[in-house]
Amino acid sequence: MTSVQRKIIHCDCDCFYASVEMRDNPSLRELPLAIGGQADQRGVVATCNYVARKFGIRSAMPTSQALQRCPDLIVMPPTMEKYRIASRQILAIYRDYTDLVEPLSLDEAFLDVSMSSQHQGSATRIAQEIRSRIANEVGITASAGVAPNKFLAKIASDWNKPDGMYVILPDQVTAFVATLPVARLFGVGKVTAAKLQQLGVVSCEDLLSWSLPDLLQQFGKLGSRLYSLCRGIDERPVQPSAIRKSVSVEETYAHDLPDLAACLNELPLLYDSLSKQVERTKTQHQIHKLNIKIRFKDFKQTTVECRADGLDKEKFRELITNGYQRRQLPVRLLGLGIGLEEKKVTQQLDLFSF
């Protein structure tokens, strides 16, 4: 019995939030546009259009810094319900081609079309039609990557952005991966990339000469992943459902909270917000941990957690007190969260519950 060659598509909408806003107001298309928080409220850029990116603006950049780079930047607050509606439309399009759809966010997903009979099973033609339908039915553009596995499909979708597509055929995998910088490998962050460079490893081709035992010795479990990925191997399946592991809320303050008393004064609002999130996600009976996050004025961050079988405002009060004592500095961000007992989680999650 021969195994079926996997055909994976990774679809990623181009600057999704900004694209929806430009769709609804075409006059914004030629102007630098960012979606995010306001500079005077310590906001950050959620996404920006490609006009803004020419100024070096990027996601997660403080809005104040973005405005320094581009004083004419238009900053709009996100309108999440509008984005969710567009996302539902896009998800419905994906599911016309396969049930194996793994959403990664509102605007990004993996599709396994290995068994699809549409377009005579051509993943390339399916991806082309999906992109065309998103443009015609939703009014925004999407880029796509087609490859034999998730790792390569995700890289391919970024290859011809925006509004592009790239296909990696099975017999092209070895040559394609050899030229990739190791920094593009899934799981390789700045620290690991720097360590690899110190070891003389810059490209995946450099990594091929390393044995699995040597990689395990240098990088632990990550070594096994590096060994496979530099050979273009990724056996992860497309998973149409996901398991929620936590629920949390947080608030970044326009003005630092000066002391512990000020932090505790914020607890009722945060607790109420978290309670609503827990109720909405129906996770009341899955709680096994409570946790808090504090980011201080100097951007140093601490977390504290404890075991619990339900929400408890007094325990959160104790956790905040313990966390604050670690640095005793003004606080710019406070967060409350719960950890969930994985073995009790059986429901399939809706994409829009995140």
Residue 203 and residue 179 in contact, taking contact as beta carbons nearer than 8 Å:
yes
pLDDT of res. 3: 65
pLDDT greater at residue 338 or residue 354: 338
In-domain check, residue 235: no
Question: Is 214 known as a binding-site position?
Answer: no
pLDDT of res. 135: 96
Q: Looking at mean pLDDT, say which of 17-31, 213-227, 277-291 comes out highest.
A: 17-31
Q: Look at residue 123 and tell me whether its pLDDT is greater than 70.
A: yes
Does 155 lie in the same domain as 89? Answer: yes
Q: Look at residue 344 and tell me whether its pLDDT is greater than 70.
A: no
Domain CATH for 205 = 1.10.150.20
Strand 8-13 relative to strand 287-296, pairing: unpaired
Strand 331-340 relative to strand 8-13, pairing: unpaired
pLDDT band, residue 277 (cuts 50/70/90): confident
In-domain check, residue 238: no
Does 162 lie in the same domain as 99? Answer: yes
Does 214 lie in the same domain as 154? Answer: no
In-domain check, residue 241: no
Does 155 lie in the same domain as 26? Answer: yes
Does 144 lie in the same domain as 49? Answer: yes
> Which tens digit of pLDDT belongs to each residue from 209-256?
999 999 999 889 899 999 999 999 999 999 887 667 888 888 888 789
Which residues are catalytically annotated? Answer: 108
pLDDT of res. 242: 64
pLDDT of res. 351: 34
What is the pLDDT of the chain when averaged over all its residues?
Answer: 90
Q: Look at residue 353 and tell me whether its pLDDT is greater than 50.
A: no
In-domain check, residue 239: no
Tokens of 30: 């030629």
Rounded to 10 deg, the angle between the 212-219 and 221-229 helix axes is 130
> Which tens digit of pLDDT belongs to each residue from 68-118?
999 999 999 999 989 999 999 999 999 999 989 999 999 999 999 999 888
In-domain check, residue 101: yes
Does 224 lie in the same domain as 201? Answer: yes
- Rounded Cα distance, 113 and 101, in Å: 9
> Which tens digit of pLDDT belongs to each residue from 182-195?
988 888 888 888 99
Question: Is 72 known as a binding-site position?
Answer: no
Does 8 lie in the same domain as 127? Answer: yes
Q: Look at residue 352 and tell me whether its pLDDT is greater than 70.
A: no
Determine if the pTM surpasses 0.85.
Answer: no
The region of weakest confidence among 131-145, 279-293, 304-318 is 279-293
pLDDT of res. 186: 84
pLDDT of res. 54: 96
What is the number of structural domains in the chain?
Answer: 3
Residue 248 and residue 337 in contact, taking contact as beta carbons nearer than 8 Å:
yes
Domain CATH for 297 = 3.30.1490.100
- Rounded Cα distance, 316 and 229, in Å: 42
Does 210 lie in the same domain as 118? Answer: no
Q: Which residue, of 150, 168, 186, is where some domain finishes?
A: 168
pLDDT band, residue 348 (cuts 50/70/90): very low
In-domain check, residue 46: yes
Within 10 A of 21 (CB to CB), how many other CB atoms are there? 23
Give the chain's count of helices (H) and strands (E).
Answer: 14, 12
In-domain check, residue 240: no
Q: Look at residue 349 and tell me whether its pLDDT is greater than 60.
A: no
pLDDT of res. 26: 96
Q: What is the CA radius of gyration of the chain?
A: 23
Does 178 lie in the same domain as 59? Answer: no
Tokens of 154: 């995700």
Strand 74-76 relative to strand 33-36, pairing: parallel
Q: Which residue segment(s) compose the domain that 179 sits in?
A: 174-229
